Structure 1
Protein backbone atom coordinates (compact mmCIF):
# COMPACT_ATOMS: atom_id res chain seq x y z
CA UNK A 1 0.00 0.00 0.00
CA UNK A 2 2.80 2.41 0.91
CA UNK A 3 5.77 1.38 -1.26
CA UNK A 4 4.75 3.36 -4.34
CA UNK A 5 4.39 6.79 -2.70
CA UNK A 6 7.11 9.45 -2.58
CA UNK A 7 8.60 10.82 0.65
CA UNK A 8 6.53 14.00 0.33
CA UNK A 9 3.31 12.09 -0.41
CA UNK A 10 3.92 9.74 2.53
CA UNK A 11 4.52 12.72 4.83
CA UNK A 12 1.26 14.38 3.76
CA UNK A 13 -0.61 11.08 4.15
CA UNK A 14 0.86 10.65 7.64
CA UNK A 15 -0.18 14.18 8.62
CA UNK A 16 -3.83 13.30 7.91
CA UNK A 17 -3.58 11.12 11.03
CA UNK A 18 -2.99 14.31 13.02
CA UNK A 19 -6.20 15.77 11.58
CA UNK A 20 -8.09 12.63 12.59
CA UNK A 21 -6.61 12.56 16.10
CA UNK A 22 -7.82 16.13 16.55
CA UNK A 23 -11.41 14.77 16.57
CA UNK A 24 -10.74 12.56 19.61
CA UNK A 25 -11.93 15.19 22.08
CA UNK A 26 -15.13 15.94 20.19
CA UNK A 27 -16.11 12.33 19.51
CA UNK A 28 -14.99 11.31 23.00
CA UNK A 29 -17.19 13.94 24.61
CA UNK A 30 -20.13 12.77 22.50
CA UNK A 31 -19.65 9.09 23.41
CA UNK A 32 -21.05 9.54 26.90
CA UNK A 33 -19.79 7.71 29.97
CA UNK A 34 -18.33 4.63 28.30
CA UNK A 35 -15.18 3.74 30.30
CA UNK A 36 -11.84 4.10 28.46
CA UNK A 37 -10.85 0.45 28.00
CA UNK A 38 -14.34 -0.55 26.85
CA UNK A 39 -14.35 2.37 24.41
CA UNK A 40 -10.90 1.26 23.24
CA UNK A 41 -12.14 -2.30 22.73
CA UNK A 42 -15.19 -1.16 20.76
CA UNK A 43 -13.28 1.25 18.50
CA UNK A 44 -10.32 -0.98 17.73
CA UNK A 45 -12.65 -3.95 17.29
CA UNK A 46 -14.82 -2.11 14.77
CA UNK A 47 -11.90 -0.59 12.85
CA UNK A 48 -9.91 -3.84 12.84
CA UNK A 49 -12.91 -5.90 11.71
CA UNK A 50 -13.78 -3.41 8.94
CA UNK A 51 -10.19 -3.44 7.66
CA UNK A 52 -10.06 -7.24 7.78
CA UNK A 53 -13.30 -7.52 5.81
CA UNK A 54 -11.88 -5.06 3.27
CA UNK A 55 -8.79 -7.26 2.94
CA UNK A 56 -10.89 -10.43 2.59
CA UNK A 57 -12.65 -8.93 -0.42
CA UNK A 58 -9.33 -8.61 -2.29
CA UNK A 59 -7.35 -11.51 -3.80
CA UNK A 60 -4.61 -12.49 -1.38
CA UNK A 61 -5.56 -9.72 1.01
CA UNK A 62 -5.74 -11.86 4.14
CA UNK A 63 -2.28 -13.25 3.39
CA UNK A 64 -0.90 -9.83 4.35
CA UNK A 65 -1.90 -10.55 7.95
CA UNK A 66 0.47 -13.53 8.08
CA UNK A 67 3.38 -11.88 9.80
CA UNK A 68 6.10 -13.20 12.15
CA UNK A 69 5.24 -13.31 15.84
CA UNK A 70 7.72 -10.51 16.58
CA UNK A 71 5.84 -8.22 14.17
CA UNK A 72 2.52 -9.00 15.86
CA UNK A 73 4.09 -8.43 19.28
CA UNK A 74 5.61 -5.12 18.16
CA UNK A 75 2.42 -3.74 16.58
CA UNK A 76 0.15 -4.82 19.41
CA UNK A 77 2.53 -3.54 22.09
CA UNK A 78 2.67 -0.17 20.34
CA UNK A 79 -1.08 0.33 20.05
CA UNK A 80 -2.23 -1.32 23.26
CA UNK A 81 0.78 -0.32 25.37
CA UNK A 82 0.36 3.36 24.58
CA UNK A 83 -3.36 3.36 25.43
CA UNK A 84 -2.93 1.19 28.53
CA UNK A 85 -0.34 3.50 30.08
CA UNK A 86 -2.16 6.65 28.98
CA UNK A 87 -5.43 5.55 30.63
CA UNK A 88 -3.46 4.48 33.72
CA UNK A 89 -1.83 7.92 33.83
CA UNK A 90 -5.03 9.93 33.74
CA UNK A 91 -6.54 7.65 36.42
CA UNK A 92 -3.61 8.15 38.80
CA UNK A 93 -2.53 11.75 38.22
CA UNK A 94 -4.17 15.10 37.46
CA UNK A 95 -5.17 14.88 33.76
CA UNK A 96 -3.44 18.19 32.98
CA UNK A 97 -0.09 16.90 34.25
CA UNK A 98 -0.52 13.46 32.66
CA UNK A 99 -1.51 14.93 29.30
CA UNK A 100 1.45 17.28 29.13
CA UNK A 101 3.95 14.53 30.01
CA UNK A 102 2.29 12.31 27.39
CA UNK A 103 2.55 15.08 24.79
CA UNK A 104 6.33 14.79 24.80
CA UNK A 105 5.97 11.87 22.36
CA UNK A 106 6.26 14.04 19.23
CA UNK A 107 9.48 15.55 20.61
CA UNK A 108 10.82 12.07 21.37
CA UNK A 109 9.99 10.96 17.81
CA UNK A 110 12.14 13.79 16.46
CA UNK A 111 15.01 13.00 18.85
CA UNK A 112 14.86 9.22 18.35
CA UNK A 113 14.77 9.65 14.57
CA UNK A 114 18.47 10.53 14.72
CA UNK A 115 19.12 6.82 15.37
CA UNK A 116 17.53 5.77 12.07
CA UNK A 117 19.68 4.95 9.03
CA UNK A 118 19.62 7.76 6.46
CA UNK A 119 18.05 10.32 8.81
CA UNK A 120 19.77 13.49 10.00
CA UNK A 121 18.50 15.47 12.98
CA UNK A 122 19.07 19.18 12.34
CA UNK A 123 18.74 22.12 14.69
CA UNK A 124 15.62 23.47 12.99
CA UNK A 125 13.86 20.13 13.63
CA UNK A 126 14.56 20.50 17.36
CA UNK A 127 13.60 24.19 17.46
CA UNK A 128 10.34 23.57 15.58
CA UNK A 129 9.39 20.65 17.80
CA UNK A 130 10.20 22.54 21.02
CA UNK A 131 7.97 25.39 19.83
CA UNK A 132 5.22 22.84 19.26
CA UNK A 133 5.73 21.38 22.73
CA UNK A 134 5.54 24.88 24.21
CA UNK A 135 2.28 25.53 22.39
CA UNK A 136 0.86 22.20 23.56
CA UNK A 137 1.91 23.02 27.12
CA UNK A 138 -0.02 26.30 26.96
CA UNK A 139 -3.11 24.47 25.69
CA UNK A 140 -3.00 21.71 28.28
CA UNK A 141 -2.16 23.87 31.32
CA UNK A 142 -3.99 27.04 30.17
CA UNK A 143 -0.82 28.91 31.09
CA UNK A 144 -1.07 27.96 34.77
CA UNK A 145 1.86 25.53 35.00
CA UNK A 146 2.05 22.06 36.52
CA UNK A 147 1.59 20.77 40.05
CA UNK A 148 3.77 17.63 39.82
CA UNK A 149 2.81 16.38 43.28
CA UNK A 150 4.94 13.34 44.34
CA UNK A 151 1.73 11.69 45.54
CA UNK A 152 0.88 11.09 41.87
CA UNK A 153 4.21 9.43 41.01
CA UNK A 154 2.49 6.31 39.64
CA UNK A 155 0.43 8.39 37.22
CA UNK A 156 3.46 10.41 36.10
CA UNK A 157 5.45 7.21 35.53
CA UNK A 158 2.60 5.78 33.47
CA UNK A 159 2.51 8.98 31.37
CA UNK A 160 6.24 8.65 30.72
CA UNK A 161 5.68 5.05 29.65
CA UNK A 162 2.85 6.04 27.31
CA UNK A 163 4.95 8.62 25.47
CA UNK A 164 7.90 6.20 25.28
CA UNK A 165 5.69 3.44 23.87
CA UNK A 166 4.21 5.61 21.11
CA UNK A 167 7.41 7.40 20.14
CA UNK A 168 9.32 4.10 20.05
CA UNK A 169 6.59 2.41 18.03
CA UNK A 170 6.53 5.27 15.53
CA UNK A 171 10.30 5.40 15.04
CA UNK A 172 10.94 1.64 15.05
CA UNK A 173 8.19 1.16 12.45
CA UNK A 174 10.72 2.57 9.96
CA UNK A 175 12.89 -0.51 10.64
CA UNK A 176 9.93 -2.71 9.70
CA UNK A 177 9.31 -0.99 6.36
CA UNK A 178 8.80 -4.33 4.63
CA UNK A 179 5.74 -5.08 6.80
CA UNK A 180 2.65 -4.00 4.81
CA UNK A 181 0.43 -1.29 6.28
CA UNK A 182 -2.51 -3.69 5.92
CA UNK A 183 -1.07 -5.65 8.89
CA UNK A 184 -2.25 -2.81 11.15
CA UNK A 185 -5.72 -4.41 10.87
CA UNK A 186 -4.41 -7.35 12.88
CA UNK A 187 -2.78 -5.05 15.44
CA UNK A 188 -6.15 -3.32 15.92
CA UNK A 189 -7.96 -6.61 16.53
CA UNK A 190 -5.30 -7.75 19.02
CA UNK A 191 -5.47 -4.38 20.81
CA UNK A 192 -9.25 -4.71 21.03
CA UNK A 193 -8.93 -8.16 22.61
CA UNK A 194 -6.43 -6.95 25.22
CA UNK A 195 -8.62 -3.91 25.93
CA UNK A 196 -11.55 -6.22 26.70
CA UNK A 197 -9.39 -8.06 29.24
CA UNK A 198 -8.31 -4.75 30.82
CA UNK A 199 -11.92 -3.55 30.90
CA UNK A 200 -13.19 -6.67 32.65
CA UNK A 201 -10.38 -6.44 35.20
CA UNK A 202 -10.47 -2.70 35.91
CA UNK A 203 -13.79 -1.11 34.92
CA UNK A 204 -17.52 -1.22 35.37
CA UNK A 205 -19.37 -1.79 32.11
CA UNK A 206 -21.30 1.22 30.79
CA UNK A 207 -22.55 0.97 27.20
CA UNK A 208 -23.36 3.94 24.93
CA UNK A 209 -26.75 5.20 26.07
CA UNK A 210 -28.38 6.10 22.74
CA UNK A 211 -27.97 6.28 18.97
CA UNK A 212 -26.02 9.54 19.22
CA UNK A 213 -23.42 8.01 21.50
CA UNK A 214 -23.13 4.93 19.27
CA UNK A 215 -22.60 7.22 16.29
CA UNK A 216 -19.79 8.93 18.22
CA UNK A 217 -18.22 5.50 18.85
CA UNK A 218 -18.46 4.74 15.12
CA UNK A 219 -16.87 8.12 14.37
CA UNK A 220 -13.98 7.28 16.70
CA UNK A 221 -13.58 3.83 15.12
CA UNK A 222 -13.64 5.21 11.59
CA UNK A 223 -11.07 7.98 11.99
CA UNK A 224 -8.99 8.72 15.14
CA UNK A 225 -9.06 5.11 16.41
CA UNK A 226 -9.11 3.53 12.96
CA UNK A 227 -7.88 4.98 9.69
CA UNK A 228 -5.46 7.29 11.51
CA UNK A 229 -3.21 4.37 12.49
CA UNK A 230 -3.03 3.11 8.90
CA UNK A 231 -2.03 6.48 7.41
CA UNK A 232 0.39 7.12 10.30
CA UNK A 233 2.07 3.81 9.46
CA UNK A 234 2.60 4.99 5.88
CA UNK A 235 3.96 8.31 7.12
CA UNK A 236 6.49 6.99 9.62
CA UNK A 237 7.72 4.27 7.25
CA UNK A 238 8.05 6.33 4.06
CA UNK A 239 7.78 10.02 5.00
CA UNK A 240 9.76 12.74 6.76
CA UNK A 241 9.55 11.55 10.35
CA UNK A 242 10.85 14.81 11.85
CA UNK A 243 8.11 16.80 10.10
CA UNK A 244 5.54 14.28 11.30
CA UNK A 245 6.78 14.63 14.87
CA UNK A 246 6.60 18.42 14.85
CA UNK A 247 3.30 18.41 12.97
CA UNK A 248 1.74 16.11 15.57
CA UNK A 249 1.48 19.07 17.95
CA UNK A 250 -1.30 20.37 15.74
CA UNK A 251 -3.57 17.62 17.13
CA UNK A 252 -4.23 19.18 20.58
CA UNK A 253 -4.60 22.60 18.95
CA UNK A 254 -7.10 21.45 16.33
CA UNK A 255 -8.92 19.42 18.98
CA UNK A 256 -9.30 22.55 21.13
CA UNK A 257 -10.51 24.62 18.16
CA UNK A 258 -13.06 21.92 17.24
CA UNK A 259 -14.43 21.87 20.79
CA UNK A 260 -14.72 25.67 20.69
CA UNK A 261 -16.48 25.54 17.31
CA UNK A 262 -19.06 23.12 18.73
CA UNK A 263 -19.69 25.20 21.85
CA UNK A 264 -17.54 23.30 24.36
CA UNK A 265 -15.20 26.20 25.07
CA UNK A 266 -14.15 29.77 24.25
CA UNK A 267 -11.23 31.20 22.30
CA UNK A 268 -8.65 32.89 24.55
CA UNK A 269 -5.35 34.73 24.22
CA UNK A 270 -3.58 31.59 25.49
CA UNK A 271 -5.13 29.52 22.69
CA UNK A 272 -4.15 32.17 20.15
CA UNK A 273 -0.54 32.13 21.36
CA UNK A 274 -0.48 28.32 21.31
CA UNK A 275 -1.80 28.41 17.75
CA UNK A 276 1.02 30.74 16.72
CA UNK A 277 3.72 28.67 18.42
CA UNK A 278 2.55 25.33 17.01
CA UNK A 279 2.09 26.69 13.48
CA UNK A 280 5.48 28.42 13.51
CA UNK A 281 7.12 25.31 14.93
CA UNK A 282 5.66 23.10 12.20
CA UNK A 283 6.84 25.51 9.48
CA UNK A 284 10.38 25.64 10.93
CA UNK A 285 10.56 21.85 11.26
CA UNK A 286 9.32 21.40 7.68
CA UNK A 287 11.75 24.00 6.27
CA UNK A 288 13.73 21.48 4.21
CA UNK A 289 10.62 19.90 2.72
CA UNK A 290 8.98 23.25 1.89
CA UNK A 291 12.03 24.83 0.26
CA UNK A 292 13.04 21.63 -1.53
CA UNK A 293 9.61 21.50 -3.18
CA UNK A 294 9.74 25.20 -4.11
CA UNK A 295 13.22 24.72 -5.59
CA UNK A 296 12.03 21.77 -7.65
CA UNK A 297 9.03 23.75 -8.92
CA UNK A 298 11.29 26.67 -9.83
CA UNK A 299 13.65 24.33 -11.74
CA UNK A 300 10.74 22.90 -13.74
CA UNK A 301 9.36 26.38 -14.48
CA UNK A 302 12.74 27.66 -15.69
CA UNK A 303 13.53 24.65 -17.87
CA UNK A 304 13.65 25.46 -21.63
CA UNK A 305 10.76 24.25 -23.75
CA UNK A 306 11.25 20.77 -25.13
CA UNK A 307 13.32 19.55 -22.21
Structure 2
Protein backbone atom coordinates (compact mmCIF):
# COMPACT_ATOMS: atom_id res chain seq x y z
CA UNK A 1 0.00 0.00 0.00
CA UNK A 2 1.44 3.37 -1.03
CA UNK A 3 1.56 6.46 1.22
CA UNK A 4 -1.02 8.18 -1.01
CA UNK A 5 -3.41 5.21 -0.88
CA UNK A 6 -3.13 5.06 2.91
CA UNK A 7 -3.84 8.80 3.13
CA UNK A 8 -6.99 8.41 1.02
CA UNK A 9 -8.12 5.49 3.19
CA UNK A 10 -7.49 7.59 6.29
CA UNK A 11 -9.54 10.44 4.88
CA UNK A 12 -12.47 8.06 4.41
CA UNK A 13 -12.71 8.12 8.22
CA UNK A 14 -13.20 11.90 8.08
CA UNK A 15 -15.96 11.40 5.50
CA UNK A 16 -17.66 8.86 7.77
CA UNK A 17 -17.37 11.16 10.79
CA UNK A 18 -19.27 13.76 8.76
CA UNK A 19 -22.32 11.49 9.17
CA UNK A 20 -21.94 11.38 12.95
CA UNK A 21 -24.20 14.35 13.72
CA UNK A 22 -27.01 13.25 11.38
CA UNK A 23 -27.12 9.68 12.68
CA UNK A 24 -26.79 10.84 16.29
CA UNK A 25 -29.86 13.05 15.90
CA UNK A 26 -31.76 9.99 14.74
CA UNK A 27 -30.84 8.00 17.86
CA UNK A 28 -32.60 10.33 20.31
CA UNK A 29 -33.50 9.85 23.15
CA UNK A 30 -30.69 7.31 23.82
CA UNK A 31 -28.20 8.89 26.30
CA UNK A 32 -24.60 9.35 25.05
CA UNK A 33 -22.74 6.72 27.06
CA UNK A 34 -25.37 4.08 26.35
CA UNK A 35 -25.16 5.02 22.67
CA UNK A 36 -21.37 4.74 22.90
CA UNK A 37 -21.66 1.23 24.34
CA UNK A 38 -24.07 0.07 21.63
CA UNK A 39 -22.12 1.57 18.73
CA UNK A 40 -18.68 0.41 19.83
CA UNK A 41 -20.05 -3.08 20.41
CA UNK A 42 -21.15 -3.10 16.77
CA UNK A 43 -17.85 -1.59 15.66
CA UNK A 44 -15.94 -4.28 17.54
CA UNK A 45 -18.16 -7.02 16.12
CA UNK A 46 -17.50 -6.04 12.50
CA UNK A 47 -13.80 -5.92 13.36
CA UNK A 48 -13.89 -9.47 14.71
CA UNK A 49 -15.65 -10.66 11.56
CA UNK A 50 -12.92 -9.02 9.47
CA UNK A 51 -10.17 -10.58 11.62
CA UNK A 52 -11.79 -14.02 11.36
CA UNK A 53 -11.88 -13.84 7.57
CA UNK A 54 -8.32 -12.49 7.14
CA UNK A 55 -5.44 -13.10 9.55
CA UNK A 56 -7.37 -15.11 12.13
CA UNK A 57 -7.67 -14.53 15.88
CA UNK A 58 -4.12 -15.72 16.53
CA UNK A 59 -2.88 -12.28 15.48
CA UNK A 60 -4.77 -10.71 18.40
CA UNK A 61 -2.98 -12.92 20.93
CA UNK A 62 0.38 -11.65 19.69
CA UNK A 63 -0.41 -8.04 20.61
CA UNK A 64 0.71 -6.72 24.01
CA UNK A 65 -1.90 -5.85 26.63
CA UNK A 66 -0.19 -2.45 26.87
CA UNK A 67 -1.20 -1.73 23.27
CA UNK A 68 -4.79 -2.72 24.02
CA UNK A 69 -4.77 -0.48 27.11
CA UNK A 70 -3.44 2.43 25.04
CA UNK A 71 -6.03 2.02 22.28
CA UNK A 72 -8.92 1.66 24.69
CA UNK A 73 -7.80 4.73 26.64
CA UNK A 74 -7.74 6.67 23.39
CA UNK A 75 -11.19 5.69 22.15
CA UNK A 76 -13.02 5.63 25.48
CA UNK A 77 -11.12 8.61 26.91
CA UNK A 78 -11.87 10.85 23.93
CA UNK A 79 -15.60 10.13 23.89
CA UNK A 80 -16.05 10.28 27.66
CA UNK A 81 -14.22 13.62 27.85
CA UNK A 82 -16.15 14.99 24.87
CA UNK A 83 -19.56 14.10 26.27
CA UNK A 84 -18.57 15.46 29.68
CA UNK A 85 -17.27 18.72 28.18
CA UNK A 86 -20.54 19.31 26.33
CA UNK A 87 -22.45 18.84 29.57
CA UNK A 88 -20.35 21.38 31.50
CA UNK A 89 -19.82 24.05 28.82
CA UNK A 90 -21.73 25.57 25.88
CA UNK A 91 -21.61 23.05 23.00
CA UNK A 92 -20.20 25.45 20.38
CA UNK A 93 -17.26 26.58 22.49
CA UNK A 94 -16.53 23.10 23.83
CA UNK A 95 -16.68 21.57 20.34
CA UNK A 96 -14.34 24.23 18.98
CA UNK A 97 -11.75 23.60 21.69
CA UNK A 98 -12.05 19.84 21.23
CA UNK A 99 -11.52 20.36 17.51
CA UNK A 100 -7.98 21.53 18.14
CA UNK A 101 -6.90 17.89 17.69
CA UNK A 102 -6.13 18.09 13.94
CA UNK A 103 -3.95 21.16 14.54
CA UNK A 104 -2.16 19.37 17.39
CA UNK A 105 -1.56 16.37 15.11
CA UNK A 106 0.02 18.61 12.48
CA UNK A 107 2.20 20.54 14.95
CA UNK A 108 3.47 17.57 16.93
CA UNK A 109 3.90 15.26 13.94
CA UNK A 110 7.28 16.91 13.42
CA UNK A 111 8.49 14.99 16.49
CA UNK A 112 7.85 11.64 14.81
CA UNK A 113 10.72 9.70 13.20
CA UNK A 114 10.94 10.31 9.47
CA UNK A 115 8.51 13.26 9.51
CA UNK A 116 9.34 16.88 8.70
CA UNK A 117 7.08 19.70 9.82
CA UNK A 118 7.09 22.72 7.51
CA UNK A 119 5.65 26.21 7.73
CA UNK A 120 3.06 25.39 5.07
CA UNK A 121 1.80 22.51 7.22
CA UNK A 122 1.25 24.83 10.19
CA UNK A 123 -0.19 27.65 8.07
CA UNK A 124 -2.55 25.25 6.32
CA UNK A 125 -3.73 23.79 9.63
CA UNK A 126 -4.36 27.27 11.07
CA UNK A 127 -6.33 28.43 8.03
CA UNK A 128 -8.40 25.22 8.04
CA UNK A 129 -9.01 25.55 11.79
CA UNK A 130 -10.29 29.09 11.26
CA UNK A 131 -12.68 27.75 8.63
CA UNK A 132 -13.90 25.01 10.94
CA UNK A 133 -14.30 27.59 13.72
CA UNK A 134 -16.70 29.57 11.52
CA UNK A 135 -18.94 26.52 11.28
CA UNK A 136 -18.72 25.26 14.86
CA UNK A 137 -19.19 28.73 16.39
CA UNK A 138 -21.59 30.17 13.83
CA UNK A 139 -24.20 30.57 16.55
CA UNK A 140 -21.91 32.89 18.48
CA UNK A 141 -19.34 32.54 21.24
CA UNK A 142 -20.12 33.57 24.80
CA UNK A 143 -17.37 32.61 27.21
CA UNK A 144 -18.38 31.92 30.79
CA UNK A 145 -16.25 31.42 33.88
CA UNK A 146 -18.63 28.73 35.13
CA UNK A 147 -17.89 26.74 31.98
CA UNK A 148 -14.13 26.62 32.62
CA UNK A 149 -14.20 22.97 33.81
CA UNK A 150 -15.94 22.04 30.55
CA UNK A 151 -13.37 23.97 28.53
CA UNK A 152 -10.61 22.15 30.37
CA UNK A 153 -12.15 18.78 29.58
CA UNK A 154 -12.54 19.81 25.92
CA UNK A 155 -8.83 20.63 25.78
CA UNK A 156 -8.02 17.25 27.33
CA UNK A 157 -10.29 15.75 24.69
CA UNK A 158 -8.20 17.33 21.91
CA UNK A 159 -4.96 16.22 23.54
CA UNK A 160 -6.30 12.67 23.94
CA UNK A 161 -7.24 12.15 20.29
CA UNK A 162 -4.14 13.85 18.88
CA UNK A 163 -1.95 11.76 21.20
CA UNK A 164 -3.82 8.59 20.23
CA UNK A 165 -3.29 9.33 16.54
CA UNK A 166 0.39 10.25 16.87
CA UNK A 167 1.27 7.30 19.10
CA UNK A 168 -0.61 5.00 16.69
CA UNK A 169 1.88 6.20 14.08
CA UNK A 170 4.72 5.05 16.36
CA UNK A 171 2.95 1.69 16.70
CA UNK A 172 3.00 1.15 12.94
CA UNK A 173 3.91 -2.53 13.32
CA UNK A 174 0.75 -3.25 15.33
CA UNK A 175 -1.91 -4.68 12.99
CA UNK A 176 -5.12 -2.71 12.53
CA UNK A 177 -6.94 -5.82 13.79
CA UNK A 178 -6.17 -4.52 17.30
CA UNK A 179 -8.80 -1.81 16.79
CA UNK A 180 -11.50 -4.49 17.12
CA UNK A 181 -10.38 -5.11 20.71
CA UNK A 182 -10.14 -1.35 21.38
CA UNK A 183 -13.78 -1.03 20.31
CA UNK A 184 -15.04 -3.94 22.41
CA UNK A 185 -13.22 -2.74 25.55
CA UNK A 186 -14.49 0.79 24.94
CA UNK A 187 -18.03 -0.61 24.66
CA UNK A 188 -17.60 -2.40 28.00
CA UNK A 189 -16.26 0.72 29.78
CA UNK A 190 -19.00 2.86 28.23
CA UNK A 191 -21.59 0.38 29.46
CA UNK A 192 -20.24 0.56 33.01
CA UNK A 193 -20.13 4.36 32.89
CA UNK A 194 -23.69 4.40 31.56
CA UNK A 195 -24.97 2.24 34.41
CA UNK A 196 -23.26 4.52 36.93
CA UNK A 197 -24.19 7.88 35.41
CA UNK A 198 -27.23 7.56 33.16
CA UNK A 199 -30.76 6.22 32.98
CA UNK A 200 -31.27 3.55 30.30
CA UNK A 201 -33.44 4.70 27.39
CA UNK A 202 -33.82 2.56 24.25
CA UNK A 203 -34.48 3.87 20.72
CA UNK A 204 -38.14 4.82 20.33
CA UNK A 205 -38.65 3.55 16.77
CA UNK A 206 -37.22 1.30 14.02
CA UNK A 207 -35.67 4.46 12.54
CA UNK A 208 -33.89 5.06 15.84
CA UNK A 209 -32.50 1.53 15.86
CA UNK A 210 -31.45 2.02 12.23
CA UNK A 211 -29.53 5.16 13.21
CA UNK A 212 -27.76 3.25 16.02
CA UNK A 213 -26.76 0.47 13.63
CA UNK A 214 -25.60 2.99 11.02
CA UNK A 215 -23.44 4.72 13.64
CA UNK A 216 -21.91 1.44 14.79
CA UNK A 217 -21.11 0.33 11.25
CA UNK A 218 -19.76 3.66 10.01
CA UNK A 219 -18.69 6.70 12.09
CA UNK A 220 -18.19 4.65 15.29
CA UNK A 221 -17.04 1.50 13.53
CA UNK A 222 -15.33 1.32 10.16
CA UNK A 223 -13.97 4.88 10.57
CA UNK A 224 -11.60 3.86 13.37
CA UNK A 225 -10.10 1.07 11.25
CA UNK A 226 -9.49 3.29 8.23
CA UNK A 227 -8.14 6.07 10.46
CA UNK A 228 -5.69 3.59 11.99
CA UNK A 229 -4.41 2.64 8.54
CA UNK A 230 -4.17 6.27 7.52
CA UNK A 231 -2.19 7.56 10.50
CA UNK A 232 0.16 4.57 10.42
CA UNK A 233 0.99 4.50 6.71
CA UNK A 234 -0.24 7.77 5.19
CA UNK A 235 0.73 11.46 5.21
CA UNK A 236 -0.16 12.38 8.77
CA UNK A 237 0.24 16.16 8.29
CA UNK A 238 -2.11 16.08 5.31
CA UNK A 239 -4.58 13.92 7.23
CA UNK A 240 -4.51 16.28 10.19
CA UNK A 241 -5.28 19.33 8.06
CA UNK A 242 -7.86 17.53 5.90
CA UNK A 243 -9.69 16.47 9.07
CA UNK A 244 -11.07 19.99 9.31
CA UNK A 245 -13.34 19.04 6.42
CA UNK A 246 -15.38 16.95 8.89
CA UNK A 247 -17.45 19.82 10.36
CA UNK A 248 -17.92 21.24 6.85
CA UNK A 249 -19.10 17.92 5.42
CA UNK A 250 -21.25 17.34 8.49
CA UNK A 251 -22.98 20.68 8.00
CA UNK A 252 -23.56 19.97 4.30
CA UNK A 253 -25.08 16.59 5.17
CA UNK A 254 -27.35 18.17 7.79
CA UNK A 255 -28.49 20.80 5.26
CA UNK A 256 -29.16 18.13 2.63
CA UNK A 257 -31.22 16.19 5.18
CA UNK A 258 -33.21 19.30 6.09
CA UNK A 259 -31.79 19.43 9.63
CA UNK A 260 -29.91 22.74 9.16
CA UNK A 261 -30.09 25.86 6.98
CA UNK A 262 -27.52 26.97 4.40
CA UNK A 263 -25.67 30.26 4.91
CA UNK A 264 -22.92 32.41 3.33
CA UNK A 265 -20.67 31.42 6.26
CA UNK A 266 -20.64 27.88 4.91
CA UNK A 267 -19.19 29.02 1.57
CA UNK A 268 -16.46 31.05 3.27
CA UNK A 269 -15.64 28.17 5.64
CA UNK A 270 -15.44 25.74 2.71
CA UNK A 271 -13.00 28.04 0.91
CA UNK A 272 -10.81 28.37 4.01
CA UNK A 273 -10.75 24.63 4.69
CA UNK A 274 -9.92 23.89 1.04
CA UNK A 275 -7.18 26.54 1.10
CA UNK A 276 -5.73 25.06 4.29
CA UNK A 277 -5.68 21.56 2.82
CA UNK A 278 -4.05 22.92 -0.35
CA UNK A 279 -1.29 24.64 1.66
CA UNK A 280 -0.65 21.46 3.63
CA UNK A 281 -0.48 19.47 0.38
CA UNK A 282 2.06 21.93 -0.99
CA UNK A 283 4.10 21.49 2.16
CA UNK A 284 4.07 17.71 1.74
CA UNK A 285 4.92 17.77 -1.95
CA UNK A 286 7.81 20.19 -1.43
CA UNK A 287 9.47 17.52 0.73
Task: Indicate the TM-score class for this superposition, using the shorter chain for normalisation.
Answer: over 0.9
User: 2:174 is matched with which residue: 164, 175, 179?
Assistant: 179
Superposition deviation, residue 50 in structure 1: 2.1
Q: Is the 8 A contact 1:143 1:270 kept in 2?
A: no
Verify: 1:133 aligned to 2:120, yes or no.
no
Superposition deviation, residue 150 in structure 1: 1.4
In the alignment of these two chains, the number of paired residues is: 286
Superposition deviation, residue 20 in structure 1: 0.2
Verify: 1:8 aligned to 2:1, yes or no.
no
Verify: 1:85 aligned to 2:85, yes or no.
no
Instruction: Tell me the residue number matched to 1:274.
Output: 269
Superposition deviation, residue 74 in structure 1: 0.6
Q: Is the 8 A contact 2:86 2:150 kept in 1?
A: yes
Superposition deviation, residue 148 in structure 1: 2.3
Instruction: Tell me the residue number matched to 2:52.
Output: 56
In 2 relative to 1, CA 109–122 (structure 1 residues): closer, same or farther, beyond 3 Å?
same
User: 2:31 is matched with which residue: 31, 35, 58?
Assistant: 35
SS in 2 for 1:39: helix
Q: Is the 8 A contact 1:30 1:213 kept in 2?
A: yes
Which of 1 and 2 has greater Rg?
1
Verify: 1:124 aligned to 2:120, yes or no.
yes
- RMSD in angstroms over aligned alpha carbons? 1.3
Instruction: Tell me the residue number matched to 1:72.
Output: 68
Using the TM superposition, name which of 159-168 and 49-58 deviates more: 49-58
SS in 2 for 1:286: helix
Instruction: Tell me the residue number matched to 1:164.
Output: 159
Provide the rounded CA distance (Å) in 2 between the counterparts of 1:205 and 1:28: 16
Task: Deviation per CA, 1:93-132: give whole Å up to 9, x if none.
Answer: 0001100000100000001101101101101111111111
Instruction: Tell me the residue number matched to 2:198.
Output: 203
Q: Is the 8 A contact 2:120 2:283 kept in 1?
A: no
Provide the rounded CA distance (Å) in 2 between the counterparts of 1:281 and 1:150: 32
Unaligned runs of 5+ in 2: none
